[in-house]
Structure 1
Amino acid sequence: MGRGDGSGRIVSPPGADDSGTGILHVDMDAFYAAVEVLHDPSLRGLPLIIGAPDGRSVVSSASYEARRYGVRAAMPVGQALRLCPTARVVPPDFRRYQAVSSRVMQVFESITPLLEPLSIDEAFLDVRGVRRLWGSPGEIAALIRRRVAEEVGITCSVGVAATKHVAKMASTLSKPDGLLVIPAARTQEFLDPRPVGAMWGVGPKAAEALERRGIRTIRDVRESPDAALDRALGPALGARIRQLARGEDARAVETTRVEKSIGHEETFETDVDDRELLRSELLRLADRVGARLRTGGWEAGGVAIKIRFLDFTTVNRSATLAEASAVGHRIGEIAVGLFEQIERHDPVRLVGVRAERLRPAGGAGLALWDDDADRRRLEDALDGARERFGIGTITRARHVGRGQGRGSAPRPGAPQE
């Protein structure tokens, strides 16, 4: 499997067999770093770390020159600089990244309307219906790579396959600046020798659980008894992994994506061990999550928190709401309750609150008794005041004077490449 530093890269020769394919996964190469080089060409060829320069933040992305030293996304910037002392640290500019992403997506949209953005720097395209316009899937992939390079000024890698799962694996293998085509008839041949951790949806913990049982490759998954996979992963994930290992993936390219979660995180300037301050911070973040839910017309069916301690250990907890809600007070109550379940009391460097399992507001109808009616009216009034006077001017009294130790102004959790 290709590695994050570009070693192990595999690409297809021009004119490679693309029979039976039609799904493309396009992924920008070290996107944030590439955009910074586009903005400042003097950075080209240098090891770049995208992150806050104070050393307490984490790496959002890194150039391939830095990745070859072992620098990875989500790594503390201080650790990254110890691995690569000559690296240049560049503060992230997400508005700049969004602007370049929009230009990339415009290229995709000019090729096919069947486009599914996965994130700011990657997307699936279904090109089966535009062959007469642009050629075969492999030819379309090559065209996209040329146009992104010429019209936007950055490089991308493309996987071409019969399914989304295989296309995504192929694009990863071809990085950076590559194209890998997997004809339908050779899907199993492509999958079998790959490590289980290369499968889309198999995270490090799931891969470790499989490897402990001697299931190390996708062939091993395919040949293992169902009971062994179910014991390692649970019946639902076990069944899903069995299908993917056989090359079966019926997921279509979704042109309309529903937001699945909304969250906010805060990294403190100094580590915090004041439990009351941490509770207040969770409530404040919950208010912001609730405001974004109401603005988007969503309600949450679940709430999750993230707590990162001084040693960078991260603890996640989640709960299902009895009734879906967009009320920040309700979300905050759940978030604080989850926090109280965490037994560790050592200093905290980051807290986060996330609303999950979103659905359109009002989808469940009106209950006979609404415990949150008064709170909902209050928060609606706060929304109106914030819209009129600005987000930072209106807050609950419980948050006033609790800024000690807090980092920069609260912001949504920064996406990591």
Structure 2
Amino acid sequence: MFVQDRGSAQPAGDATILHADLDAFYASVEQRDNPALRGRPVIVGGGVVLAASYEAKAFGIRTAIGGQEARRICPQAIVVPPRFEAYTEASRAVFEIFRDTTPLVEGISIDEAFLDVGGLRRIAGSPVEIATRLRSRIHAEVGLAITVGVARTKFLAKVASAVGKPDGLLVVPPDGEIEFLHPLPVERLWGVGKVTSAKLHGSGIHTVGDIADLGEAMMTALVGPAAGRHLFALAMARDPRPVHVGRRRRSIGSQRALGRRPKTEADIEASIVAITDRLGKRLRTANRVCRTVVLRLRFDDFTRASRSHTLSEATASTEVILLAARRLLSDAMPQLTDRGCTLIGLSLTNLDNDDAIQLALPFGDTAAGSFREESSGGAVTMDTAALDGAMDELRNRFGASVLTRAVLLNRSEGMEVPKLPD
């Protein structure tokens, strides 16, 4: 039997993994900071819905739909611009409580994490008691509602938190896993997107239990060996992955929703400049360098494309990264002009620690902290490490908006989806 608990403490056996997920995070921060918004339908972002309060979701508003469609669905909705600094600050406060609860915390986004509390029973109580206190602390200290799923595996804990929303605590004990899991729709399984969902429904498979009944051999024949084995294992509640702590990221990235309004080349380039500024600072703050720059695009017809460039050596220089990003964008611009662009993003991969940088020959010409560009007078090289450092220090002291590139003046920041704080 599974238990949905909104306050009482009940033993959960070997269910010791928590998945904690803040409810309607961006919209909840707006409602927390502005009492006039509480209890009212709130949309964060105008061109594209970045987040919606539960009052807005009740009308059918979902993230990523167009702002005009959202206002048609719910004319009384209140639209507010995103405040990413406020969301990041709230996230950091929540993660401090996570890490004060257990040292075994694996953050997976700005508003959710896995926690392993298996070794805390003698000093902190049962997993459900710990989860109850965690929810109370976040509500009292940060002012936000959070849903927690408790289960034996990461997969089941995440499903439990999704089913338990909003502002709930749902426990899936080991002897009730199959009973909880099998009636759920196949879309609850990791890896089932629109394409796989349509294929499964076309074969008469609608619930997780249908996948279990079909068997692994038939699933691999239907969706392929890797996907078939993966989905069948999840349908049988098998997920051996532990909570990972201290893993260094292999990439960092950011993306910006542009909406369906007409956009000039200058508009699109301004988005790349803003994203690169943020990513360069994040690299240096984390003492990392990157080798590969990846441009990601989504077109008006919802198809996607990506282009990448690997630098001759690792760098944390904003200007070096920006030069590579601009070249990738220039190559892709004919497609953007023909097909339109609704989302643009940048990822920095092949990360390493900044002490791994080696000087290149000839020394100084293309060092990781330098920027080299061709001009009519020949190659111009300048050291940007000091400039990057000075800009980072100013932004740390006075806020991200204290310095702005000229190309970004009088332009909307768009709707960027921030990643987990470093």
Q: TM-score range by the shorter chain?
A: 0.7 to 0.9
Instruction: Work out which of the residue numbers 259, 263, 277 in structure 2 matches 1:272.
Output: 263
- SS of structure 1 residue aligned to 2:161: helix
Residues 332/235 of structure 1: CA separation in 2 closer, same or farther (3 Å cut)? farther
**Mapped pair 1:202 → 2:202:** no
Unpaired runs of 5+ residues, structure 2, are 373-381, 396-401
The amino acid across from 1:190 in the alignment is: F
Q: Report the Cα offset of residue 364 of structure 1.
A: 10
Residues 282 and 336, structure 1, Cα contact 8 Å, conserved in 2: no
Name the CA distance, whole Å, in 1 between partners of 2:226 and 2:309: 19
1:63 aligns with 2:14: no
The one-letter code sitting in structure 1 at the alignment partner of 2:164 is: S
1:335-386 Cα distance to aligned partner (Å, 9 max, x none): 554x26848704435433323464546869899999x937863167234324
Tell whether 2:171 aligns with 1:177. Answer: no
Determine the structure 2 residue equivalent to 1:262: 253
Map of 2:305 onto structure 1 = 316
Which of 343, 358, 378 is 2:371 aligned to?
A: 378
Q: How does 1:86-165 map to 2 (within 5 A)?
A: 86-165=76-155
Which residue in the other structure is 1:41 paired with? Answer: 35
Aligned partner letter, 2:241: R
| Structure 1 position 299 matched with structure 2 position 290 | yes
Taking the aligned partners of 1:89 and 1:44, their CA distance within structure 2 comes to 13
Amino acid paired to 2:412: S
CA-CA distance at 1:123 after TM superposition? 1.6
How many angstroms apart in 2 are the aligned matches of 1:227 and 1:332?
Answer: 48
TM-score normalised per structure 2: 0.77
Shift in Å at residue 93 of structure 1? 1.8
Structure 1 residue 387: deviation in Å?
A: 3.4
1:193 matched to which residue of 2? 183
Task: Mark the CA change 1:143 to 1:81 in structure 2 (over 3 Å): closer, same or farther.
Answer: same
Instruction: Please give the alpha-carbon distance, in whole angstroms, between the structure 2 residues aligned to 1:322 and 1:209.
Output: 40
Q: Normalization by structure 1: what TM-score?
A: 0.78
Assess if the C-alpha contact under 8 Å between 1:114 and 1:125 holds in 2.
yes
Shift of 1:273: 5.6
Match of 1:408 among 390, 405, 412: 412
Asked if 2 retains the 8 angstrom alpha-carbon contact of 1:286 and 1:353, the reply is yes
Question: CA–CA distance in 2 between the matches of 1:262 and 1:385?
Answer: 22
Which of residues 78, 81, 92 in structure 1 aligns to 2:68?
78
Query: In 2, Cα distance between the equivalents of 1:215 and 1:341?
Result: 42
Partner of 2:338: 345
The one-letter amino acid of 1:352's match is: G
Partner of 1:7: none
Distance 1:316 1:225, change over 3 A: farther
Could you say which residue in structure 2 is the equivalent of 1:31? 25
> CA offset at residue 131 of structure 1?
0.7
Shift of 1:195: 1.3
Residue matched to 2:241: 251
Change (3 A) 1:133 1:284: same
The aligned counterpart of 1:387 is 389
Query: Any gaps of 5 or more consecutive residues in structure 1?
Result: 1-9
